[in-house]
A = this chain, B = another copy of it.
Amino acid sequence: MKVRNILGERFKEAPKDCTIESHAFMVRGGYMRYMSNGIYSLYTPGKRIMQKIEAIIRDEMDKIGGQEVMFPVVMPASLWEESGRYTSIGSEMARFEDRSKNKMVLGMTHEEAAVHLARDIANSYTDYPFMIYQIQTKFRDEPRARGGLIRVREFTMKDAYSFHTSMEDLQEYYKDCHKAYENIYKRAGAKNVISVASDSGMMGGSVSHEFMLLSEIGEDTLAICSDCDYKSNMEAAECITEPLNSEVKQLEKVHTPETKTIEALSEFLHIKESDLCKAVVYQKNEDDKYIIVFIRGDLEVNETKLRNYLGAEIHPAVEITEESGIVAGFIGPVNSKANARMVFDKSLIGMNNVICGANEIDYHYVGANLERDYGKKIEYVDVAKIYEGAACPCCGHKSITIEKGIEVGNIFQLGTKYTKSMNMTYLDKDGKQQYPIMGCYGIGVGRLAASICQESHDDYGPIWPITIAPWQVEICALRADNEQVKDFADKLYTELQNKGTEVLYDDRDVRPGAMFADADLFGIPVRVVVSPKNLEKNVVEISLRDKSLKTEFSVDTAVEDILALVKKEFEKYAL
């Protein structure tokens, strides 16, 4: 393809809303165009990257026996009512009524559709196991679309669903899928992808992993042990604290004026934050009822863990009413008159001598012993955020490091959540009815493209791995008005294409600086410069976009040499 024909514009200044590099480059390079919040159109270079990633995914899914199918984007609400998710999922699912007033939804995931496609069909144990997948448009009404294709509302996703007759079989297949995902990232040129244990969230099921591309701009926080293999999304990481076994003391109320924050209180009393019992107030989304979480003063609440424990959506308390009996700034578990559910984090276990709010303005208790003073049996749960230097839940060493990651894929062991609720059964060997066990496996294609761009760029543009680059070779003809240059570059363009190479050809009459700036934004791995000066020396100039190579090829062997270089580039990403 010729640069002069490509619809799209390349420009220098990043638009103001592009706060991360990949977003800026993909807008500046003419890959995509904003249409609405979290909704983009793709120009040809962007579309080509997507197609290449899709082809890699398709290949790896087929290799583990996947059958490509197609589910609808628009589905009847009735199907989602069967699984219960029509009500359990909130406003992130788009809904509308069709012309006959039937309730419809836009697919944001397709477990229900997968069960619908397979039930009544796979009704004997001999039909199992199988895996079906699709690559299709999805819409999720994200409250915070951001980062270009990193977090959008409409996206292309590969989603796969496997069905099994035993947990062992699912677990085996889950491993195969884990491996297939590793292959996909390797082949697509995503370098720093790790898999971490994850929270299963709205998907149901228990065991699940997220594939995280490590990146400072990642929205996910990961806990990684530097001493063992432990890797987890912070949302799923257990926070282990040691019991302090401090000396038991008498409960005593002390005057602590103007000490509404942990910092103020610890300064006022000259104690460490970890000696305090902090209170954090939440409200349930559905009825605004209060929840007070008590946690050691130096720790933070992990809202996902809290949400999972409560089995309900929550938000930080917006306003604390007088009728609630909650005395903001001075909340404590002892002698509380608060009309609220109380949750005790495990970090409080064994704190015999603790400082907490006295539920009275300007007063705190010191020397509290929760077991003794609370008056009721306490159930401790883990709702604390793991932190840098925390004990590893696996090896126990204080070797947890915290990193940021972009989720570029996830795999779930779903179990029978959907097959049970949607009544999908099969007859086992003994003629007994059973529910199949499911797994599901997702990759967002656009997010992966953007993440690779984020990981692989320099100051001037993306450095696309050759396996997903929109074209493999770019020919820059400097002074295409020069007949010799034009002839040679034209010939090179034709011959390389005839040999099956994807070539982008810039024969525009623009200054070298502008041409190279555009080439940097296109990010094509192999660059060939044809110029009067080079041709005089009977060479063309060759460079790799990642700057690892800059050389000259003889014009006589240029085609073969370029083909060999392309082949070598591909080998970098071979399994």
- Neighbour of A69 across the interface among B42, B73, B74, B76, CB < 8 A: B42
B74 touches A106 (CB 8 A): yes
Rounded to whole angstroms, the CA-CA distance of A56 and B117 in the bound complex is 28
B118 touches A72 (CB 8 A): no
A67-B7 contact, Cβ under 8 Å, with A72-B154, A74-B39, A96-B95:
yes
B69 touches A41 (CB 8 A): yes
- For window 37-84 of A, CB contacts with B under 8 Å fall at 37, 39-44, 46-48, 50-51, 65, 67-76, 79
B130 touches A7 (CB 8 A): yes
- Neighbour of A70 across the interface among B1, B47, B98, CB < 8 A: B47
Q: Which residues of B contact A96 (CB under 8 A)?
A: 94-96
Number of copies of this kind of chain in the complex: 2
| CB closest chain-B residue, reference A131 | B7
Interface size on A, residues (CB 8 A): 64
| CB closest chain-B residue, reference A93 | B99
A68 touches B41 (CB 8 A): no
Majority DSSP secondary structure for residues of A touching B: mixed
A5: CB under 8 A from chain B? yes
- Neighbour of A33 across the interface among B50, B67, B76, B116, CB < 8 A: B116
Q: Which residues of B contact A72 (CB under 8 A)?
A: 35-36, 39-41, 154
A336: CB under 8 A from chain B? no
A320: CB under 8 A from chain B? no
CB distance from A103 to the nearest CB of B (A): 11
A75 touches B43 (CB 8 A): no
Rounded to whole angstroms, the CA-CA distance of A134 and B70 in the bound complex is 18
Q: Which residues of B contact A503 (CB under 8 A)?
A: none
A300: CB under 8 A from chain B? no
Q: Which residues of B contact A39 (CB under 8 A)?
A: 72, 74-76
B47 touches A141 (CB 8 A): no
B41 touches A7 (CB 8 A): no
A312: CB under 8 A from chain B? no
Residue from A7, A30, A68, A71 with most neighbouring chain B CB atoms (10 Å): A7
A69 touches B92 (CB 8 A): no
A7 touches B69 (CB 8 A): yes
Rounded to whole angstroms, the CA-CA distance of A137 and B74 in the bound complex is 10
Rounded to whole angstroms, the CA-CA distance of A39 and B92 in the bound complex is 22
A224-238 near B? 1/0 per residue, CB < 8 Å:
000000000000000
A92-122 near B? 1/0 per residue, CB < 8 Å:
1011101110101010000001001110111
Q: Which residues of B contact A141 (CB under 8 A)?
A: 98-99
A308: CB under 8 A from chain B? no
A153: CB under 8 A from chain B? yes
Rounded to whole angstroms, the CA-CA distance of A137 and B37 in the bound complex is 20
CB distance from A151 to the nearest CB of B (A): 15
Q: Which residues of B contact A118 (CB under 8 A)?
A: 7
- Neighbour of A74 across the interface among B1, B94, B98, B143, CB < 8 A: B94
B74 touches A139 (CB 8 A): yes
B5 touches A130 (CB 8 A): yes
CB distance from A303 to the nearest CB of B (A): 20
- Neighbour of A99 across the interface among B9, B40, B92, B154, CB < 8 A: B92
A7 touches B154 (CB 8 A): no
Rounded to whole angstroms, the CA-CA distance of A73 and B41 in the bound complex is 10
- For window 480-522 of A, CB contacts with B under 8 Å fall at none
A154 touches B122 (CB 8 A): no
A477: CB under 8 A from chain B? no
B7 touches A99 (CB 8 A): no
Q: Which residues of B contact A206 (CB under 8 A)?
A: none
CB distance from A134 to the nearest CB of B (A): 8
- For window 322-346 of A, CB contacts with B under 8 Å fall at none
Q: Which residues of B contact A113 (CB under 8 A)?
A: 35, 41
- Neighbour of A137 across the interface among B43, B51, B104, B137, CB < 8 A: B137
A6: CB under 8 A from chain B? yes
Rounded to whole angstroms, the CA-CA distance of A46 and B139 in the bound complex is 24
Rounded to whole angstroms, the CA-CA distance of A121 and B10 in the bound complex is 10
A8: CB under 8 A from chain B? yes
CB distance from A45 to the nearest CB of B (A): 10
A132: CB under 8 A from chain B? yes
A91: CB under 8 A from chain B? yes
B7 touches A73 (CB 8 A): no
- For window 527-561 of A, CB contacts with B under 8 Å fall at none
Rounded to whole angstroms, the CA-CA distance of A127 and B50 in the bound complex is 25
| CB closest chain-B residue, reference A1 | B67
CB distance from A436 to the nearest CB of B (A): 12
**With A36-B79, A46-B70 given, can you name 6 additional A-B contacts, CB distance below 8 Å?**
A39-B76, A41-B113, A42-B70, A43-B117, A73-B137, A73-B154
A-B contact pairs, 9 of them (CB 8 A): A5-B65, A35-B113, A41-B71, A42-B70, A47-B134, A73-B139, A74-B139, A96-B96, A106-B106
Identify the A interface with B (CB < 8 A): 1, 5-9, 30, 33, 35-37, 39-44, 46-48, 50-51, 65, 67-76, 79, 91-92, 94-96, 98-100, 102, 104, 106, 113, 116-118, 120-122, 127, 130, 132, 134, 136-137, 139, 141, 143, 153-154, 156
Pairs A-B, 5 closest by C-beta atoms: A96-B96, A42-B70, A36-B76, A91-B99, A44-B67
